[in-house]
Every structure is written in structure tokens, then in C-alpha cells.
Chains A and B, each alone.
Chain A
Amino acid sequence: MSPARASWREWLARFGLVLALLALIAVLSLLSDRFMSVPNLLNVLRQIAINALIAFGMTTVILGRGIDLSVGSLLAFVGVVTATLAVQGVPAWLAIVAGLAVGTGLGAINGAFVAYAGIAPFIVTLAGLTIFRGMALAFTDGRPVTGLPPLFSGIGYGTFLGLPMPVWIMLAFLFLTHFLLRNTALGRAIYAIGGNEEAARLAGIPVRRVTAFTYAFSGFAAALAAVVLTGRLNSAQPTAGVMFELDAIAAVVVGGTSLFGGRGGVFGTLVGALIIGVINNGMNLLNVPSFYQQIVKGGVILAALLIDRALTARRT
């Protein structure tokens, strides 16, 4: 194989997903003249921020060959706890810090059950999904929490250098997670465990501690998303985040991270979240009837994956 062709193929393999996204954007630009406008693109970025934040945390868990189904419920619980504290007079920043701590702690409990008690991640976090939802409902008696201090709407709607705050938070967390995964010993350990847990153990990597960490990190990510969502809605719902776990997993998988662990990264996840976000936005712009939206969404996700596979499969 000539070097030029080799690099061309590697490039395709690496950016096939981005091409799929660009193709989607091109199609939507043709169908709707409103799509390619700055306000709309900012719109899309702001809307995907919440899913992307959760999905970045989910990426670390999946890279370590786990899964976290509890994120949507955890988000709801952290949201109502943070909002309630803020409404009851705790300084807003302190309420947010407390909420992030609660989310990290609940994630760590998930992680402890998976890593130290040896229960399957699917089961542990499925239990978390119902338990955290129940906690959120019990905490608020099923009612939304409103009347938040202005810091929250600042997080939800403020802008800095022309970009919405949720986008800044998403980008900051993207780079943080990327740095964690690529440039720290902990990140290497996560990939090592996802690639071969037994080999990692025999290489002296503290497999349990690292595994537990990924769930705590996912809990932190969901809590961060909870703060952003609370800001966006200027209120906290105990019913928020239903099915968010599936959107996050979809973003991770569409973004090229292997469900079997050890392969992938957060930039792919960002592209995955963008693809899903662009589809949702495009369907609203085109006024696609509700019954067909679900079909279109699933179909486009499959098509994006097919394009990616077709481009990457050529490698020998």
C-alpha cells in the first residue's frame, strides 16, 4: 500500500463520523434555509450540552467496560437537592458544590457495588435508576422546585464571548475528560481495564479502585448536567432526565466508543451528541410530524453508523 493511500484511509477511518455529521448538516442546510444560521447553530450547541456532559461521563464508564443506567435519575435527584438548598437560602454557589458532591458520592456508591461487591454494572445501575428516581420524588413529594436565585439562569442563559454558558461548561468538561483519559495514569488504567481486565490486574493496576472511580466520575458528570438543566429550566423537576441514559449511551456509541470497552474517546462522543442534537433540531425546523420523528431519529443514527463502518472497514 502506498503511504499516501494509507494515510488517506487512516484519515477516513478517523474522521468518517465527522463526515457523516457534515453530510447530515449539508442535507439539512438544503432542506431548511434557517438551519445554517448562527443563532440556530448556537441553539444546537446549547441543547446538546446536557446530553454531552452526561455522555462524557458515560464514556469513561464504557471505556472501562461498564455501563451506567442511573444517570438520568441521578440528574433529577441532584437537580432537586441543589435547587431546594438554593431556594432555602444556602448561597447558590454552595448549593451547586453540594449538588456536585452528592452526585459524585452516589456515583461512587454505584462504583463500589460494581467494583467491590462484584455485581454486574447493568444491575447495579438499573437499581440506581429506580432508587435515585424514587429519592428525587420523595424529596420533593413529586413537585417541581422553583424560585431559584439568579445565578442559575445565568448558568442556563448567560453568554461569554458570544457563546452560551452551557456550551462553555461542556467544552471545559470535554477538555478535562479528554485530559483525564489521555494524559493521566488513571486514564491509561481505564483503557487498560477495558482492553483486558485480567491483564490490567496482573500489571498491578488497582482495577477495583479505577473501576469505582469511573462511576463516581459519571455521577459528577450527571450532577454537572443537572446544574445546567436546572439553570436552563430555571427550576428543578423530580421527573427530569427520564431516558437520558439512553441518549447518552447513543451519543457514546455513535461516537465510536466500543461498548466492550478499551477503545474510543470523548471527542467521538461529542460528535455523537452533535449528530443526535442536529437530528432533533432539524426535525423541529422541518416540522416533521411527531409519529415520524422517532423513526427518522433511529434511522439517521443507523445511517451515521453505517457510513462510519463503511469508511473504516476498508482498513486491512
Chain B
Amino acid sequence: MRRIALVLAATLLGAALAQGTVGLSLSTLNNPFFVTLRDGAQAAADDAGLNLLVTDAQDSVSTQVSDIEDLIIRGVDVLIINATDAAAVVPAVMQANQAGIPVIAVDRGIDGGELAYYVASDNAAGGRAAAEHICEALGGEGDVVELEGIPGTTAARARGAGFNAYLSESCAGLTVVARQTANFNRAEGLSVMENILVAQPEIDAVFAHNDEMALGALQAIQASGRDIMVVGFDATDDARASVEACEMEATVAQLPDQLGATAVELAADLIAGEAAPAEVENVAVALELVTEPACD
């Protein structure tokens, strides 16, 4: 047992010395978005000839802290963290700082410690883009339902804020008639939308904070036989297929593979000897609205 461990350690150490190792601590792989993010990161690491160690915290703050500690001990050169909670991982980041390992936050920000980069898509801008699209498609007037993500999460806050800010600033003719949480979950998106359909006789469009909820809502709308436009967020494979099939109106594409790839590329630069910025540098990854023009 001990011998195996030694051999294993030597191998890992050898790999680290040869190519440089990047640790990627993910909040969860229980979500296609992060699976795609990991795939993008892996592809970029392969291109750059880096060794990528991925951990999955399963949405547990404590698991993530120990994941990060493990990665530090395994001697990674750069640490990329997709935080489960912006505050709770700070002590772990500080440990990495002490060990002299640069830290890159991806997708979700971190409230303290020294970060080299914060790579994120602009969730608020995505919310605005969705609002703008719905506003144009409805000709500036109508009733909208907003399906919120898990209450209190950064993504739910930012997407909702961008969406509502646009409506109040530039599209006063649209009214949000119902605003309910479906916890980023498809089954809940379905049942919550069913209930809203009962409550609201007039609905022209639904904006969901992610595609899972959007697809659930779409299921409810199709069953009800009503004609309501659905816009989601994240552009998962399912949602893209749905847009192409002219079922969903649009989805805001965060580009998770781009997030992963960008973070790894920045890590590669750091390993290659580039100095980390003195203050955390925000790196915004582009968002795009995925629509299917052929549907209209």
C-alpha cells in the first residue's frame, strides 16, 4: 500500500515537474454547464501541454475547502477555483496564497484572499440581452413571467438584476406578472410554471434564469396548449436543440467551455513566467444570444 503510494507520488511529482500542473476545483459536476466548463479547460490544458487535476465539491462548501487543500498538497502550480460560495472558500484561497500558488476564480467570484484573475461571463449583461430580445419580439408590450434561480445565489441575483434593470429603463411596456423561484431545476420549472399558468390568464413570455427551468416551463406550456415565448440562459445542448426546433425562443449562451479554456490559458501564461497582476484583473468572457432566425 505504502509502496504504491510512493510510486504514485513520484509519478505525480514527475508529471508536475515535466509540464506544470493546474488544479481546477469545481463547485459541482452535477450540472451540464460545469461539465462543459471542465471539457473546455481540459482541451486548453491538452493544447498547452499542461496536466489538469479536477475536483468536484458536489456543491458542498466543506468538501471544496478540503479539495483545495488536497490540490495545494499535490503541488499544483496554479489553482483555478469555481467557488461554491464566495465567502466560504476565502480561507482556502489564503492557504494557497501562503503556499505561493496563484489563484484564478472562474464563473463565481471570491470575496477575499489574493486573486490573480476573475474569469466570468457577465451575467447581468446576459439578463439585459434576454430582456432586450423579449422586448423587441413582443413589440415593447406584454406580460412576462420570471423564473428565478436558487434564491440568494450570485447568478440568480445578477441575471435577474440585469433583466429587470433593462425592463424598467428601456421597456416600460412589459410587465412582470409573476416572479417565482424554481431553484434552477427542471422538474420544479415544470410544476411552478403549471401553477403560474393557472394563476395568470395573460402571459406572453417567460424568462428563466437557466435552461433547465426554461425547458421545464416549456413542457408545461406545451401541455397547456398556450403560445408563450420562452427564453432561457446557459445554452445547454438541450436548450440549443430546443431553439433549433423552434420550441424555445432563445437562450443566452454563457460559453462555459470558453470560461474553462480562458482560465487555463491564463494559468499557462503564469506558469510560463508571466507576472500575476498586482490587483485582481476581471476577465469578461463573451455572452451570446442563441436564436434560430429560420423560425419566424
Contacts and interface: CB of A to CB of B under 8 A. Distances in A.
Interface stretch (A54-62, A172-180, A237-245): A237-245
A232 B181 CA distance: 19
Contacts of A290: 148, 151, 179-181
Contacts of B30: 133, 137, 142, 238-239, 242
B198 interface: yes
Range of interface residues on B (Cβ < 8 Å): 20 to 34
Contacts of A285: 195-196, 198-199
B195 A240 contact: no
Contacts of A294: 151
A263 interface: no
B192 interface: yes
A70 interface: no
A137 B223 CA distance: 29
Interface in A136-170: 137, 141-144, 146, 157
B148 A34 contact: no
Given A39-B198, A233-B187, A235-B238, 5 more contacts: A34-B199, A229-B187, A239-B185, A242-B185, A287-B180
B42 to A, nearest CB: 13
A258 interface: no
B35 A141 contact: yes
Given A232-B219, A242-B185, A287-B180, A146 B238 contact: yes
Interface residues of A, number: 40
Interface string B179-209: 1110001110011101110110000000000
Contact of B198 (A37, A142, A289): A37
Interface string A97-124: 0000000000000000000000000000
Given A233-B186, A239-B31, A34 B191 contact: no
B59 to A, nearest CB: 9
Nearest to B39: A141
Contacts of A39: 198
Contact of A144 (B32, B179, B190): B32
A291 interface: yes
Nearest to A43: B194
Contacts of A144: 32, 186, 236-238
A240 B238 contact: no
B35 A232 contact: no
Contacts of B181: 290, 293
Given A284-B199, A287-B178, A47 B151 contact: no
Interface of A: 32, 34, 37, 39-40, 43, 46-47, 50, 133, 137, 141-144, 146, 157, 229, 232-235, 237-240, 242, 280-281, 283-291, 293-294
A160 B196 CA distance: 24
A234 B219 contact: yes
22 contacts: A34-B199, A43-B194, A43-B195, A47-B191, A47-B194, A133-B30, A142-B35, A232-B187, A232-B190, A233-B190, A233-B216, A237-B212, A242-B30, A281-B195, A284-B180, A284-B196, A285-B196, A286-B199, A287-B178, A288-B180, A290-B179, A291-B151
Contact of B179 (A143, A157, A283, A289): A289
B179 A287 contact: yes
Given A234-B219, A284-B196, A285-B195, A143 B186 contact: no
